[in-house]
Amino acid sequence: MLGEKAGKIFEYIYKRLDEVQDEEIARELGLKLNEVRKLLYQLSEQGLVSYRRVRDKSTSWYTYYWRVRKDEIPSLIQFRKKITLSKLKLRLKAEESTTYYECPVDKTRYSFDEALENEFRCPRCGSQLVYVDNSDIIDVLKKYIALLEREIAQKG
């Protein structure tokens, strides 16, 4: 959801089972400190990590200690599943309510209305558009939706 680097940072803190300084994460993962801090803030905005700030009395600089918010993880996974589910349902609705046409050359898909508007010719290259049978996509979407609904129901 946040990219590969954020995932690595999260994994690193998660495995340490303790507070970790951002300097250490940058050093161990071979990333720039600024980048690590930026990604850590993004992770904290998502509620995945939290931090504790300690001020050094001599330099008056802050040191940040990061930890994984394990208590938040189950509800977060549930939340993500619900978002995915609603996206899949929208996609299914679109697939079921529209017929699609495709350019055989550049593989661009067009809805029936778009195809009609362009007299069933690809607006990019002028090829004749062909009807797309999306029943396979609909089947896969339905199966995935059913699976997610079961998983969400089980967690209550």
Residue among 45 and 106 whose Cβ is closer to Zn ion: 106
Cβ-based nearer residue to Zn ion, 3 or 104: 104
* Nearest C-alpha neighbor of 66 from the set 28, 2, 27, 9: 9
Closest approach of Zn ion to the CB of residue 122, in Å:
3
Choices 31-39, 54-62, 124-132, 141-149; region in contact with Zn ion by CB under 5 A: 124-132
In the complex with Zn ion, the residue whose CB is nearer, 23 or 106, is 106
Burial of 67 (0-12, 13-18, 19+ CB in 10 A): middle
> Which CB atom, from 125 or from 147, has the smaller least distance to Zn ion?
125
Taking the complex as a whole, the smallest distance from the CB of residue 136 to Zn ion amounts, in Å, to 22
Q: Which residue do the tokens 């778009």 mark?
A: 114
Q: Please, are residues 114 and 68 in contact by the beta-carbon 8 Å criterion?
A: no
Instruction: Name the DSSP class of 47.
Output: T
- Residue 124 touching Zn ion (CB under 5 A): yes
Q: What is the closest distance, in whole angstroms, from the C-beta atom of residue 94 to Zn ion in the complex?
A: 21
Contact map string, positions 84 to 123, toward Zn ion, x by CB under 5 A: -------------------x-xx---------------x-
CB of 130 to Zn ion, least distance (A): 11
Residue 62 β-bridge partners: 55
Q: How far apart are CA 130 and CA 156, in angstroms?
A: 45
Give the count of alpha carbons within 13 A of 126, CB side only.
0
> Can you tell me which residue has the tokens 């995915």?
84
- Here the tokens at position 39 are 């990604």
Q: Which of 1, 83, 125, 140 binds Zn ion (CB under 5 A)?
A: 125
What residues make contact with Zn ion under the rule CB under 5 A?
Answer: 103, 105-106, 122, 124-125, 127
